[in-house]
Structure 1
Amino acid sequence: MFDKLINLLNVPLFTFNGQSITVLAILAVPMWILLAFWVAKLCIKAISNRLMAKQKDPNFIQLIERILFVVTLAVIFITTLSLLNIPITAFAFLSGAIAIGFGFGAQNIINNFISGWILIGEKPIRLGDFLELEGTKGTVEQINTRSTRIRRVDGVHLLVPNSKLLENTVINWTLRDKLVRGSVSVGVAYGSDVRLVERLIEEVVQAQEQVLEDPKIGVFFQDFGDSALMFEAYFWIHSNVEGGIRSVASNIRFCIDEKFRQNNIVIAFPQRDVHLAGELTIARSRTK
């Protein structure tokens, strides 16, 4: 019975390039592919976990995963051809024709694929970076083969083609470090003690826990405005999201308002003085 089953599995179904393709070879191929992918997935995951345990750069880990996956695909393809007794040279002409057609029909896909490898290797954009692209701000969550996933500040996910990140101007707020500069402007009424105003603003900014001592903060008397004496404070914080700088700036404004009230400093508002030339005549209405 077993011999009959073996003979049945060895029955040739068709011939390809002089090689007989049997039933056993046809059945063995999907089993081999499933098993190979399963083992490869376990191995790649084990290597990634080991690199993560050593606190390696997430971008480096993703690069290693990408290389191992490509190598796995190549090994599975070559081994599958070997199981089917099909030489690789049999695909020489066919692969050339497919490559030409694929090149014309999938230029954007190939462009994005190569761009993805450049992003991972060159690292102009890394996982966790805070980007600004065409007025949209968000954090990079994943760099895939074709596109990069970005989470906007409002929580919406964007899938941006990799080529767009290389061919367009992208502002990377955290390319070298997490330093972000913020500023707060305030106008005080004419006649205010400007040195006192400068000192109060500096005290408020320095009191914020998130504000860094180095680079130093700066308080500048910017201008004599139409209705106010304009001051502006510059400060630096560590932040990788837009809300970080906005939150600190908001706290500084609250504290400045409170500090100015305690020291009788008036925050200016637009005012206009109207001068009338000549005599002012009041017309009274007559009632019958």
Structure 2
Amino acid sequence: MAQNSQSNLQPQIVSVKIQLASPGIDPVVAKNQSTMLEALNKLLERTVEYLSRLQTMSRFQNRFIEEINAKQQRIKLTDILQGLGSNFVNALDFELWVIDDQSVTVKKVIVALLILLIGLQLAKYISRFTTNRILLRTKLNESDRAIFDRILYFLMLVLIVLFALHTVNIPLTALTFLGGAFAIGVGFGTQNLLNNFISGFILMLERPVKIGDTIEFENTIGTIEEIGIRCTRIRTASNVHILVPNSSLLEKNIVNWTLSDQIIRCQVRVGVAYGSKVREVSRLLYKAITEHEKILKKPEPVVIFNDFGDSALIFDVYYRIRLGDNRMEKMIIESNVRFLIEKHLREGGISIPFPQRDIHLDTTQPFNLRIFQDSGDLQAKKGADTHEQ
């Protein structure tokens, strides 16, 4: 564009010069032409100067592009990787803090975390392998094996933490340095978690309940399957699993049906009609109990004449059974005992009454009460009522 402007200015300057050189030119026109010629010459000079600067800038630009291309050709992938690697190493060597003239860098923290993660997995595998393969050959019960598994796991966890700190040269005073903030966080954020954690160890060591026990907790009966770090897993007779915090098992009342052994006492209550021979009833009840093969002979079953009820004579039957793996067995045996009691009482001519009430009416005059059994009597009743009216 500037070159076109220069080529246009030159013919204009030549034309003005020719007009000024023509003879007989008017002085006023000559003056205007001279002024125009002077302006065109200045414009031409500036145009030439602008073109020279553009050419200089163009040369600099071409040189810069050539240098960039040359450097790009010399740069290799290895140089880029080396640069990134050096930056990464510098980031790993970044010093986080210094304790007892020992610097703790990002690299040390990462190595410690890797050791902890790998060590946790190894600790779980080793503890499970030891419990499932080695301790199964011993005479330890399931609860004792669970205690050994937990203790072994946490001992290995402590050793792994110490090994991680020693490997990365992190002094143990670092734990003291972070202990205050950690204690505050534990005190406010993990109070319940630590409570359940410690309660789990108390349950495993004191053993008020153990794996395989049948307990009654908050009107729920179930079998303890696992005592974990935070909670205890209980399976009910309905095959429903309940997770109970360990602290609740220590703070609340529980009934352990199998604390010392698997033998429990059961009770069945039955009522017979008034006027029945109570000695005969007791004999028949005892006979019904002893016929069941799963009721223990020792201690011997007991039949108790409990009370004079509103509608029946109340007898309680007490017997003991041994709980098996099937936790529904208690209810099944109780049901079978009721079947046997009903059979023997029916064969002995003793009835089991239904609830009844005696009503006494206190009136100033007697009632005219009549009972009719069929339609003929009903017609007679209507006739009598008509006759009375």
TM-score for the superposition, normalised by structure 2: 0.64
Distance 1:223 1:47, change over 3 A: same
Task: Name the counterpart of 2:66.
Answer: none
CA distance in structure 1 between the aligned counterparts of 2:136 and 2:288, rounded to whole angstroms? 41
Distance 1:231 1:38, change over 3 A: closer
Larger strand fraction of residues: 1
Task: Name the counterpart of 2:139.
Answer: 55
Q: What is the Cα deviation at residue 29 of structure 1?
A: 4.8
Contact 1:10-1:22 at 8 Å conserved across structures: no
Task: Name the counterpart of 2:252.
Answer: 168
Superposed CA deviations along residues 15-59 of structure 1, whole A, max 9, x for unmatched, are 342437486x67755654454344433422232121122131222
Task: Name the counterpart of 1:229.
Answer: 313
Question: Aligned letter for 1:247?
Answer: I
TM alignment of 1:91-240, pairs within 5 A: 91-239=175-323
Distance 1:272 1:31, change over 3 A: closer
Q: What is the Cα deviation at residue 86 of structure 1?
A: 1.7
Q: Secondary structure at the match of 1:286?
A: helix
2:93 to 13, 17, 27: 13
Task: Name the counterpart of 2:33.
Answer: none
CA distance in structure 2 between the aligned counterparts of 1:107 and 1:20, rounded to whole angstroms? 30
Distance 1:107 1:40, change over 3 A: closer
Contact 2:116-2:160 at 8 Å conserved across structures: yes
1:268 to 353, 360, 363: 353
**140-149 vs 277-286, which moves further:** 277-286
Larger helix fraction of residues: 2
CA RMSD of the aligned region, Å? Answer: 3.1
Q: What is the Cα deviation at residue 121 of structure 1?
A: 0.4
CA distance in structure 2 between the aligned counterparts of 1:86 and 1:34, rounded to whole angstroms? 17
Bigger CA radius of gyration: 2
CA distance in structure 2 between the aligned counterparts of 1:22 and 1:146, rounded to whole angstroms? 33
TM-score for the superposition, normalised by structure 1: 0.85
Q: What is the Cα deviation at residue 169 of structure 1?
A: 1.0
Contact 2:104-2:170 at 8 Å conserved across structures: no
Q: What is the Cα deviation at residue 148 of structure 1?
A: 0.9
Task: Name the counterpart of 2:126.
Answer: 43
Could you tell me which runs of 5 or more consecutive residues in structure 2 were left unpaired when the two chains were aligned: 1-77, 371-380
Q: Secondary structure at the match of 1:71?
A: helix
Q: Secondary structure at the match of 2:328?
A: helix
CA distance in structure 1 between the aligned counterparts of 2:114 and 2:134, rounded to whole angstroms? 29
Q: What is the Cα deviation at residue 279 of structure 1?
A: 7.2
Matched, 1:253 2:338: yes
Question: Aligned letter for 1:139?
Answer: T
Q: Secondary structure at the match of 2:188?
A: helix
Q: Secondary structure at the match of 1:285?
A: helix
Distance 1:268 1:90, change over 3 A: closer
CA distance in structure 1 between the aligned counterparts of 2:367 and 2:180, rounded to whole angstroms? 97
Question: Aligned letter for 1:243?
Answer: M
Q: What is the Cα deviation at residue 228 of structure 1?
A: 2.7
Higher relative contact order (CA 8 A, sep 6+): 1
Question: Aligned letter for 2:174?
Answer: A
Distance 1:80 1:274, change over 3 A: closer
Q: What is the Cα deviation at residue 239 of structure 1?
A: 1.9
Task: Name the counterpart of 2:38.
Answer: none
Q: What is the Cα deviation at residue 236 of structure 1?
A: 0.8
Matched, 1:286 2:386: yes
Could you tell me which runs of 5 or more consecutive residues in structure 1 were left unpaired when the two chains were aligned: none
**218-227 vs 30-39, which moves further:** 30-39
CA distance in structure 1 between the aligned counterparts of 2:106 and 2:220, rounded to whole angstroms? 57
Distance 1:219 1:88, change over 3 A: same
Q: Secondary structure at the match of 2:94?
A: strand
